[in-house]
Amino acid sequence: MKNFFIDDRHLETESGTASEFRQYDGMLADGLKAMGTALSDARRGQLLGYLALLARWNKAYNLTAVDQPGQMVARHLLDSLSILPWLGGERIMDSGTGAGLPGVVLAVASPERHFILVDSNGKKIRFLRQVRRALSLANIEPVQARLEELRLDPAPETVTARALAPLGRLIRWHAPWLEHGARLLAMKGELRKNELDEVPDAYNVEIVELEVPGIDTRRCLAIVTAK
């Protein structure tokens, strides 16, 4: 696998370089170990290279409100990787992917799967195309589209969504795929009863509590399937 940090001159920014993120490799490795997961040095290097790209593009495109390197490791990388055990199938759609969270991170960790990263924002899709080139991530496919109008063939087997919308709305948007057997993995913070009450009777919801090193607030995963 290509080592993303062979030459980091093209990642220099006013606030730091790829080497600034390289120093957080230990934090990333320790966090993964705490979650019972391990990634190779090369894959951790790709993930930290992704954060360096994100920090660079964030100055112009405002892709994320979290811009401190240590916080980015926990709230972007470890948080995204916390749902890795629940991924299923070979085709994964990341809805409202934004800067590629959790889609890019999961794609680095699961090179055998194909990730369709969907967002309606053209600037974010351009960033993701640059990520695909810079990290040599052949298994990501950035798609600019509105979810309500999107058609995919073949259909995804798993759909991920991170803090995108209430469950009821997510189910409406993804009903065509859920009704054909896909699972929706909705990453949430607090999940209140009124949000669960909006889920149609035709769907099951399983709630899994997530423990993410470096994040003190509640994180949970709502797994939605059609009955």
Q: What whole-number percentage of the chain has pLDDT above 70?
A: 92
Would you say residue 7 lies in a domain?
no
Q: How far is CA 153 from CA 143, 150, 156, 204, in A?
A: 13, 10, 8, 25
* Structural domain includes residue 180: yes
Of 10, 28, 164, nearest in space to 109 by CA: 28
Does any domain span residue 8? no
Which residues constitute the domain of residue 183? 15-226
Instruction: Give the Cα separation of 128 and 142 in Å (integer).
Output: 6
Q: Which backbone phi and psi does 27 adopt, to 5 degrees? A: -60, -40
In a domain, 6, yes or no: no
* Domains: count for the chain: 1
> What end-to-end distance do the CA atoms of the chain give, in Å?
41
Share of the chain above pLDDT 90, in %: 84
- Mean pLDDT, the chain, integer: 91
Alpha-carbon span 53 to 135, nearest angstrom: 10
Question: How many angstroms separate the CA atoms of 225 and 172, rounded?
Answer: 12
The enclosing domain of 210 has a CATH number of 3.40.50.150
Q: Is residue 117 part of a domain?
A: yes
Over residues 13-71, the pLDDT tens digits come to: 333 446 778 899 999 999 999 999 999 999 999 999 999 999 999 989 999 999 898 89
Band (pLDDT 50/70/90 cuts) for residue 9 is very low
